Structure 1
């Protein structure tokens, strides 16, 4: 792990304006339900955001779900040192409103502002601020679909990673990061394998949780609350034997899977804090190779 005097300056580059704009844009599709035409528009927009940031290695990963062709978006930032080691930051872009009685995906909205435009926006913003910083490890930003249909997108990628013997050091998954608990102490939930999953808990998990704790304490106003893994896109990686951590809000969000999961219910300041914590963690784990960012 690398302690770096430049981390404070880097994480301060996280833009509230950019995060706000990206969440608004994603919710403006009205729905990103996996099988909808608007989900296709959303994934094309996410692909374009990575490309506009200057990333040249942006691809789709195809998979089949219910006889439908679906696509994850994979943006790779090649490492400049130990490039065979991979750190994944991921978030799902699909949405659903299964908690609303009478909801019809073909006619009713599923704005998904918190679940999970918040996570996608934080991922894109992290990709932005790290774009021109040479990292030791390879960083892979992945936007999954099919999360709301039993994690199919992340299952497809975890299977692909396993079959290709990818050297994945850590997976950080962002899902519903827009609703804090009550101040004065903002908490964020970190999900780690506490030994009751199959396979048994990875010993590296606790090491990386300590890094996240340090990042939260040093560079944000967040405090960490640990829970066991919950059902989101980090789970298939954990089941495949990779070290995976989930990041989620600590507040009890009343609008999950409802038509009321709209932009107005998101706390952008909190999303900014979670993004800063995430970016600092990535820097600490993956390391910086540029001379101007020599570690101290």
Structure 2
């Protein structure tokens, strides 16, 4: 029979108590319930219907017509953002963002790729941004066919309509950080709208803390026969794309493979779903996107920004990238009858509460570091809050979990400090992170220590 010393038993008891008895009560936010309840399925239906009415929104399609093609579609989107801004007293900065692309496999001739951007400036930390995006363009079976009808009702009028609706709802509030609503072009031809926006953001010094890319948020009937309006997927990359050789070596010894900023952003959105969205369970998918495929969050990930893809759980490939037709009794094409508007509203509400919570919260902690090797204790430290956020921030919350646990299990409020030691909680046995908390209880995403988990300055 194996025996254990009294002192060791006491040490194990202290460590166990330290882990299990340190979970502060979450502060429920009525404003987030109000935001979720304000999202309108009927308005989303109207917007998707209007976008479908342009016939095709192919990147290479007509730009001069007022009724057909991507030119008419983007002018309508801008007009809608302008209306939203007028209703909130000019709270949005609305503009086109473009570049001429040519010599590409899917854009061989010079083509202006034009996105529509609307920025709602924060009143405390305006250079900090969270972004919601959807894709303007649509396509049929032949990716180069710019003239055939390509309704793109779900892919991706649903994402653009959700972005417009989130702007309508959130523009009624003021936030500490800035929120950006983006209708991005050129996705089907090579993610060009996202590439243009991400590069410009980097050049302009935007401190992007989250990109929520919405690509197909309206289908509930899968190609597998499953009909389900109660789940959604959040795709999030693992190790970050901008990792250096030195960062990779450090990660090998300290961890971080499942704690990129994108992964912890996904956990945050999943947490929002649990608390504020009725009858929705989100699945955090440990992959950049669907197997071998891509979306408009990827250009942001490529530059080191946290980004995820939010979308339906059950895809129907008969309704994606298809000529409109009936073949062997099967209806092909991305038409209005394949969209569940209530479900699109549910996923839009998830975006809206996540954006609002992050924009009301302080910035995620920067320069988070950790030490505790060959010690019974674990010490975390981080950068002091900026001068602008001194009046906003109440303090910090440390999180930890077992290394095989997908979500944070334990937490402790540690006050307005820049370092804290968790006594008798051994660094080898857990993963750790730090979040910042506002005076009214809004919390940032959790930041894993070191370059692997950093959200940037």
State if a TM-score over 0.5 links the two structures: yes
Q: Which has the larger radius of gyration?
A: 2
Residue in structure 2 matched with residue 64 of structure 1 by the alignment: 100
Richer in helix (by share): 1
How many residue pairs were aligned? Answer: 289
Q: Using the TM superposition, give the Cα deviation of residue 268 of structure 1 relative to its aligned residue in structure 2, in angstroms.
A: 0.8
Question: Matches of 1:159 and 1:98 in 2, distance apart?
Answer: 30
- String of CA shifts for 1:52-98, please: whole Å, max 9, x gaps: 01244101112112311221111010101111101111111000113
Question: Matches of 2:304 and 2:115 in 1, distance apart?
Answer: 21
CA 1:112–1:2: 2 relative to 1, 3 Å? farther
Structure 2 counterpart SS, 1:211: helix
Task: Give the alignment partner of residue 82 of structure 2, picking from 51, 68, 72.
Answer: 51
Residue in structure 2 matched with residue 27 of structure 1 by the alignment: 52
Task: Give the alignment partner of residue 310 of structure 2, picking from 247, 252, 266.
Answer: 247
Structure 1 counterpart SS, 2:314: coil
Question: Matches of 1:226 and 1:7 in 2, distance apart?
Answer: 21
Q: Using the TM superposition, give the Cα deviation of residue 217 of structure 1 relative to its aligned residue in structure 2, in angstroms.
A: 1.5
Residue in structure 1 matched with residue 321 of structure 2 by the alignment: 257
The yes-or-no answer on 1:266 pairing with 2:306 is no
Gaps of 5+ in 2: 1-25, 63-68, 103-109, 244-256, 325-332, 363-438, 442-457
Q: 1:1-296 maps to which residues of 2 (within 5 A)?
A: 4-37=29-62, 38-54=69-85, 55=90, 56-66=92-102, 67-98=110-141, 104-106=145-147, 108-180=148-220, 182=226, 186-195=230-239, 198-200=241-243, 203-220=260-277, 221-227=279-285, 228-230=287-289, 231-254=294-317, 255-258=319-322, 259=324, 260-287=333-360, 295-296=440-441
Question: Matches of 2:213 and 2:27 in 1, distance apart?
Answer: 21
Question: Matches of 1:151 and 1:159 in 2, distance apart?
Answer: 12
CA 1:12–1:288: 2 relative to 1, 3 Å? farther
Alignment check: 8 A CA contact 1:2 1:285 kept: no
Structure 1 counterpart SS, 2:38: coil
Question: Matches of 1:156 and 1:34 in 2, distance apart?
Answer: 14
Q: Using the TM superposition, give the Cα deviation of residue 99 of structure 1 relative to its aligned residue in structure 2, in angstroms.
A: 5.6
By relative contact order (CA 8 Å, sep 6+), the higher-ranking structure is: 1
Question: Matches of 1:193 and 1:64 in 2, distance apart?
Answer: 29
CA 1:185–1:145: 2 relative to 1, 3 Å? closer
Gaps of 5+ in 1: none
Question: Matches of 2:229 and 2:211 in 1, distance apart?
Answer: 26
- String of CA shifts for 1:143-202, please: whole Å, max 9, x gaps: 11110111011111111112222111111100011112646672111010122x633577
Question: Matches of 1:15 and 1:229 in 2, distance apart?
Answer: 30
Question: Matches of 2:27 and 2:95 in 1, distance apart?
Answer: 30
Q: Using the TM superposition, give the Cα deviation of residue 105 of structure 1 relative to its aligned residue in structure 2, in angstroms.
A: 2.4
Alignment check: 8 A CA contact 2:220 2:228 kept: no
CA 1:266–1:99: 2 relative to 1, 3 Å? farther
Deviates more, 1:127-136 or 1:172-181: 172-181
Deviates more, 1:267-276 or 1:199-208: 199-208
Question: Matches of 1:272 and 1:25 in 2, distance apart?
Answer: 16
Q: Using the TM superposition, give the Cα deviation of residue 28 of structure 1 relative to its aligned residue in structure 2, in angstroms.
A: 0.8
Question: Matches of 1:285 and 1:124 in 2, distance apart?
Answer: 19
TM-score, normalised by the number of residues in structure 2: 0.60
RMSD: 2.3
